[in-house]
Amino acid sequence: MVGRRSRLDRFISKACQISLREVKVLLAQRQISVDGQWVSDAALQIDGFSTISAQGLVLQERQRVYRMLHKPIGVVSATQDSIHRTVLDLIDGPVIPGLHLAGRLDLNSSGLILLTNDGRWSKRLSAPETRVAKYYRVGVAHPITPDYIQAFAEGMYFEFEDSITAPVILTIVSDRVADLVLTEGKYHQIKRMFGRFRNPVLTLHRYRIGELYLNGGPNADPTEPCSNDLAEGQWRELTDAELGLFED
């Protein structure tokens, strides 16, 4: 696992097939570097993203990757699938070990997906205690009335999970369209909540996670394309500024 931490001496011993005693000799001779710095602490904690060299030989060098992608309808939020095209199938270029989805969307949903090879980052984004908000535009079969607003805000009991959903902010956009803000993601949660009103969900598009927008910005129509953003199926690396939006 990339995010798992371990002792430096044990890593060197395994990678170089030498004893721990021999590792200590190399450390004393300043023959081992971590992230470009000579080190002497055998118990130094490293992880899968530490750049480690011994006697001039690079033993490990892996960069953290953070990407955003505009998922089309009909693409599976998975790393592999025997029937449908997956989100990872949309990523061109070299294969990145450990690249995975930091949150999912249903097969028939579209919108913003985040991908990374940093397990700690993705776990923090999905952890209930961090309460990272996800924003959706939803189209339904029947008119949405004001009583939906209170029902979504109060939460609904799901027998399968034996729990009540966290409050969901529902804003009526038009007769059959609403914007939702969720801080959790139970199984098919949006469809099940509208199902309590016997109102089938026809379209579901995620246009924002936290302060990161897929299209335009806070005043843009999330269903309208933006000239400088991602078309369906496209992806790009997150900028340092965008990564900063998810810092504690």
Q: What fold characterizes domain 66-244?
A: Pseudouridine synthase (3.30.2350)
89 is catalytic: no
Query: Catalytic one among 47, 81, 89, 106?
Result: 106
Q: What is the pLDDT of residues 162-179, one digit of tens each?
A: 899 999 999 999 999 999
What average pLDDT does range 216-222 have in this prediction? 63
Using CA atoms, how far apart are residues 82 and 45, in angstroms rounded to an integer? 39
- Would you state the pLDDT for residue 137? 96
| pTM for the full predicted model | 0.81
- Would you state the pLDDT for residue 2? 55
Q: What fold characterizes domain 6-60?
A: 3.10.290
For residue 223, CA distances in Å to 132, 133, 170, 201, 203 come to: 22, 19, 17, 16, 11
Residue 1: pLDDT over 50:
no
Q: Is the dihedral of CA 194, 199, 200, 203 positive or negative?
A: negative
pLDDT band at 116 (very low <50, low <70, confident <90, very high): very high
Residue 223: pLDDT over 70:
no
- Would you state the pLDDT for residue 215? 77
Instruction: Please give the mean pLDDT across all residues of the chain.
Output: 89
Return the domain boundaries, the chain. Answer: 6-60, 66-244
